[in-house]
Amino acid sequence: MKQAATAVAPSNIAFVKYWGVRDAALTLPYNESISMNLDACSTTTTVTFDSSLNTDEVAIQWYGQPARPTAGRPYERVVAQLDRVRVRAGIQARASVVSANNFPADAGIASSAAGFAALTLAAASAAGLQLAERELSILTRQSGSGSACRSIPDGFVHWLNDGTDAGSYAVSVAPAGQWPIVDIVAVVDTSIKRVTSADNHVRVTSSPYFGVRLQEVPDRIKQTLRAIRDRDLSTLGAVCEADAVSLHVVAMTAVPPTFYWNSGTMAVVHALHRWRDEGLMAYFTMDAGANVHVICADADKADVDQRLRELPEVQWTIVNGPARGAYLVDPL
Ligand code: PMV
């Protein structure tokens, strides 16, 4: 028996971020988050359940590189997610997983969001599961890459959270066409080391500022929902920057601390302040890394992109518009 399906899923950038896991087994976050799917950073994954296989096989291909078999912890995480799908579908067959990213491995873009969203949709479909979007988002969240659940719905996405497994899923708050804004990734660090978020999600409570962050987030969620509805870039920008700084303050004051930013990060932040003084509306946010995501209007993207590329600290950029969520395509 052979059953295959192929899915494409975008990466996403959070305006209000998920930082801290209350229940690591179920990947239940402490707080809600809001993101935008990214149209230039996606993963395409084919899952084939094949009863002639003795073991799961996983190969990942990065942009510009040949496909490589995956081993160790990344392999185990994929197998654990396949197991969740097998249990649900009542099947035993092992699977072959082939996954391709359209962005380079050293871009510092969280690939796990796109990767686990595409894996979950392809595996569920190949296993014959008919899941509603909410169920698919919950199953994707359970992969351990929480932010991946936000890559399932379309456009601008709200990860709801009532503290329960059934109440922690992502919904679209607006389609991709709602608002022509872009996220320009300014790459200032290409080291592959990647401090995994997993340890830091657990460590958050050791920071004295984590409680402060949790008190601030609900208001940021409200403001971000309003900003998306009203296409209010100055409000979105202020919230994005405040939330990113708060996440990094928590990381820097946790035990042990993590300092993600480097001098290139600060060079971009200072440049944005200078450009804003000149009237250019462009704002920063950073995930668990040094690279800066610059949010601005689509109409300003050529100008902002050129300015960013002229900074000596910026190695290259990736310009992303809003994107639809994960979808199935014909098997490769
Ligand atoms: O989903 P994870 O475990 O890769 O964690 C994502 C953490 C951030 O990217 C920093 C924030 C977010 O909400 O995407």
pLDDT digits (tens, 9 = 90+) for 265-288: 999 999 999 999 999 999 999 999
The three-point CA angle 142-114-228 to 5° equals 95
Task: Determine the distance separating the centroid of ligand 1 and the alpha carbon of 229, expressed in angstroms.
Answer: 24
User: E strands along 102-226, which residues?
Assistant: 156-159, 170-174, 181-187
pLDDT value at residue 111: 80
Q: Is the CB of 246 under 6 A from ligand 1?
A: no
Which residue among 147, 151, 157 has the greatest number of ligand 1 atoms within 8 angstroms of its CB, and so is best to mutate? 147
Q: How confident is the model at residue 195 (pLDDT cuts 50, 70, 90)?
A: low
Q: How confident is the model at residue 191 (pLDDT cuts 50, 70, 90)?
A: confident
Residue nearest atom 3 in ligand 1 by C-alpha distance: 145
Q: Is the CB of 117 under 6 A from ligand 1?
A: no
Tell me the pLDDT tens digit for each residue of 152-170.
Answer: 999 999 999 999 999 999 9
Task: Determine the distance separating the centroid of ligand 1 and the alpha carbon of 146, expressed in angstroms.
Answer: 7
pTM of the model: 0.97
CA 205 to chain centre: 22
Q: Is the CB of 320 under 6 A from ligand 1?
A: no
Backbone region of residue 64 per phi and psi (left: phi > 0; alpha: psi in -120 to 50; beta: other values) = left
Tell me the pLDDT tens digit for each residue of 49-102.
Answer: 999 999 999 999 988 888 899 999 999 999 999 999 999 999 999 999 999 999
Hey, is 156 helix, strand or coil? strand
Q: Longest Cα pair distance anywhere in the chain, in angstroms?
A: 64
The phi, psi pair for 320, rounded to 5°, reads: -120, 130
Q: Is the CB of 108 under 6 A from ligand 1?
A: no
Q: Is the CB of 44 under 6 A from ligand 1?
A: no
CA 94 to chain centre: 27
Cα distance between residue 142 and residue 136, in whole Å? 10
